[in-house]
Structure 1
Amino acid sequence: MALCTAGALIAGGVAIAAVTAVSWVYKYVTGRHPDVSQQLDSTRFRIQDVANGMRCKACDLAGFASSYGGSAGTEAAPGA
Protein backbone atom coordinates (compact mmCIF):
# COMPACT_ATOMS: atom_id res chain seq x y z
CA MET A 1 0.00 0.00 0.00
CA ALA A 2 2.81 2.42 0.93
CA LEU A 3 4.64 1.62 -2.30
CA CYS A 4 1.55 2.42 -4.38
CA THR A 5 1.03 5.69 -2.51
CA ALA A 6 4.67 6.71 -2.97
CA GLY A 7 4.50 5.86 -6.67
CA ALA A 8 1.36 7.94 -7.13
CA LEU A 9 2.92 10.92 -5.33
CA ILE A 10 6.09 10.68 -7.40
CA ALA A 11 4.11 10.40 -10.64
CA GLY A 12 2.06 13.46 -9.67
CA GLY A 13 5.20 15.45 -8.88
CA VAL A 14 6.80 14.49 -12.18
CA ALA A 15 3.62 15.45 -14.05
CA ILE A 16 3.51 18.87 -12.38
CA ALA A 17 7.20 19.43 -13.17
CA ALA A 18 6.62 18.47 -16.81
CA VAL A 19 3.65 20.83 -17.19
CA THR A 20 5.66 23.65 -15.62
CA ALA A 21 8.62 23.01 -17.92
CA VAL A 22 6.45 22.87 -21.04
CA SER A 23 4.69 26.09 -19.99
CA TRP A 24 8.03 27.85 -19.48
CA VAL A 25 9.37 26.66 -22.84
CA TYR A 26 6.18 27.85 -24.58
CA LYS A 27 6.41 31.30 -22.98
CA TYR A 28 10.12 31.49 -23.80
CA VAL A 29 9.63 30.56 -27.46
CA THR A 30 6.69 32.93 -27.96
CA GLY A 31 8.63 35.77 -26.31
CA ARG A 32 6.18 36.35 -23.47
CA HIS A 33 8.74 36.08 -20.71
CA PRO A 34 10.20 39.16 -19.01
CA ASP A 35 13.93 39.73 -19.00
CA VAL A 36 15.69 38.80 -15.80
CA SER A 37 16.96 42.37 -15.53
CA GLN A 38 13.37 43.66 -15.80
CA GLN A 39 12.29 41.29 -13.03
CA LEU A 40 15.14 42.43 -10.79
CA ASP A 41 14.42 46.11 -11.45
CA SER A 42 10.74 45.61 -10.72
CA THR A 43 11.54 43.84 -7.45
CA ARG A 44 14.05 46.52 -6.46
CA PHE A 45 11.53 49.30 -7.08
CA ARG A 46 8.86 47.50 -5.05
CA ILE A 47 11.27 47.07 -2.14
CA GLN A 48 12.23 50.77 -2.32
CA ASP A 49 8.56 51.80 -2.33
CA VAL A 50 7.84 49.69 0.74
CA ALA A 51 10.92 51.05 2.53
CA ASN A 52 9.99 54.66 1.76
CA GLY A 53 6.44 54.06 2.94
CA MET A 54 7.66 52.53 6.19
CA ARG A 55 10.10 55.43 6.71
CA CYS A 56 7.29 57.94 6.18
CA LYS A 57 5.02 56.13 8.64
CA ALA A 58 7.81 55.92 11.21
CA CYS A 59 8.48 59.66 10.92
CA ASP A 60 4.77 60.43 11.23
CA LEU A 61 4.41 58.19 14.28
CA ALA A 62 7.47 59.73 15.92
CA GLY A 63 6.10 63.23 15.33
CA PHE A 64 8.95 64.43 13.17
CA ALA A 65 8.46 66.83 10.29
CA SER A 66 9.64 64.92 7.26
CA SER A 67 10.22 65.59 3.62
CA TYR A 68 8.21 62.47 2.78
CA GLY A 69 4.87 64.24 2.79
CA GLY A 70 4.73 65.17 6.46
CA SER A 71 4.07 68.63 7.84
CA ALA A 72 7.50 70.10 7.17
CA GLY A 73 7.98 73.52 8.69
CA THR A 74 4.61 73.70 10.46
CA GLU A 75 5.80 72.73 13.93
CA ALA A 76 6.81 75.58 16.20
CA ALA A 77 10.17 75.54 17.92
CA PRO A 78 10.11 75.17 21.73
CA GLY A 79 9.86 78.57 23.41
CA ALA A 80 8.84 80.35 20.22
Structure 2
Amino acid sequence: MLIDRQGERLPEWLDAVRQDGLPSLHTLATGIDRDLDAVIAGLTLPWSSGVVEGHANRIKMIKRQMYGRAGFKLLRKRVLLAS
Protein backbone atom coordinates (compact mmCIF):
# COMPACT_ATOMS: atom_id res chain seq x y z
CA MET A 1 0.00 0.00 0.00
CA LEU A 2 2.84 2.41 0.80
CA ILE A 3 5.21 1.52 -2.02
CA ASP A 4 2.58 1.22 -4.75
CA ARG A 5 0.62 4.32 -3.62
CA GLN A 6 -2.62 2.43 -3.08
CA GLY A 7 -4.26 4.63 -0.47
CA GLU A 8 -7.71 3.51 -1.58
CA ARG A 9 -7.01 0.17 0.15
CA LEU A 10 -6.66 1.87 3.56
CA PRO A 11 -10.32 1.44 4.67
CA GLU A 12 -10.05 -2.32 4.05
CA TRP A 13 -6.87 -2.45 6.11
CA LEU A 14 -8.48 -0.45 8.93
CA ASP A 15 -11.41 -2.89 9.01
CA ALA A 16 -8.98 -5.83 9.23
CA VAL A 17 -7.13 -4.11 12.09
CA ARG A 18 -10.35 -3.57 14.03
CA GLN A 19 -11.18 -7.28 13.73
CA ASP A 20 -7.73 -8.21 15.02
CA GLY A 21 -6.93 -8.68 18.71
CA LEU A 22 -4.17 -6.08 19.03
CA PRO A 23 -5.34 -3.06 21.09
CA SER A 24 -2.36 -0.89 20.11
CA LEU A 25 -3.34 -1.19 16.45
CA HIS A 26 -6.92 -0.27 17.38
CA THR A 27 -5.56 3.00 18.78
CA LEU A 28 -3.64 3.60 15.55
CA ALA A 29 -6.76 2.92 13.47
CA THR A 30 -8.76 5.38 15.59
CA GLY A 31 -6.11 8.05 15.06
CA ILE A 32 -6.08 7.48 11.31
CA ASP A 33 -9.89 7.71 11.21
CA ARG A 34 -9.74 11.25 12.61
CA ASP A 35 -8.26 12.51 9.35
CA LEU A 36 -8.89 9.68 6.93
CA ASP A 37 -9.06 11.85 3.79
CA ALA A 38 -5.63 13.38 4.47
CA VAL A 39 -4.04 9.99 5.16
CA ILE A 40 -5.50 8.51 1.98
CA ALA A 41 -4.24 11.52 0.01
CA GLY A 42 -0.78 11.10 1.55
CA LEU A 43 -0.72 7.45 0.54
CA THR A 44 -2.04 8.12 -2.96
CA LEU A 45 -0.72 11.42 -4.31
CA PRO A 46 2.83 11.74 -5.65
CA TRP A 47 3.60 15.03 -3.86
CA SER A 48 5.65 15.16 -0.68
CA SER A 49 6.59 17.84 1.83
CA GLY A 50 9.73 15.94 2.81
CA VAL A 51 12.15 18.64 1.67
CA VAL A 52 10.35 21.35 3.63
CA GLU A 53 10.19 19.12 6.71
CA GLY A 54 13.92 18.45 6.38
CA HIS A 55 14.72 22.17 6.39
CA ALA A 56 12.42 22.78 9.38
CA ASN A 57 14.09 19.90 11.24
CA ARG A 58 17.56 21.31 10.49
CA ILE A 59 16.59 24.77 11.75
CA LYS A 60 15.07 23.32 14.93
CA MET A 61 18.26 21.34 15.58
CA ILE A 62 20.38 24.48 15.25
CA LYS A 63 18.00 26.35 17.54
CA ARG A 64 18.29 23.61 20.18
CA GLN A 65 22.08 23.65 19.93
CA MET A 66 22.18 27.42 20.35
CA TYR A 67 19.71 27.63 23.26
CA GLY A 68 21.09 29.90 25.99
CA ARG A 69 24.37 30.55 24.18
CA ALA A 70 23.86 33.75 22.24
CA GLY A 71 21.28 36.14 20.89
CA PHE A 72 19.14 36.17 17.81
CA LYS A 73 21.86 37.69 15.55
CA LEU A 74 24.19 34.72 15.99
CA LEU A 75 21.34 32.21 15.64
CA ARG A 76 20.22 33.91 12.40
CA LYS A 77 23.75 33.89 11.01
CA ARG A 78 24.20 30.22 11.86
CA VAL A 79 20.89 29.24 10.21
CA LEU A 80 21.73 31.21 7.06
CA LEU A 81 25.24 29.78 6.78
CA ALA A 82 24.28 26.16 7.48
CA SER A 83 23.21 24.91 4.08
Please indicate the TM-score interval, normalised by the length of the shorter structure.
0.3 to 0.5
Q: TM-score, normalised by structure 1?
A: 0.36
Q: TM-score, normalised by structure 2?
A: 0.35
Indicate the structure (1 or 2) with the bigger Cα radius of gyration: 1
State the structure with bigger RCO (CA 8 A, min sep 6), 1 or 2.
Answer: 2
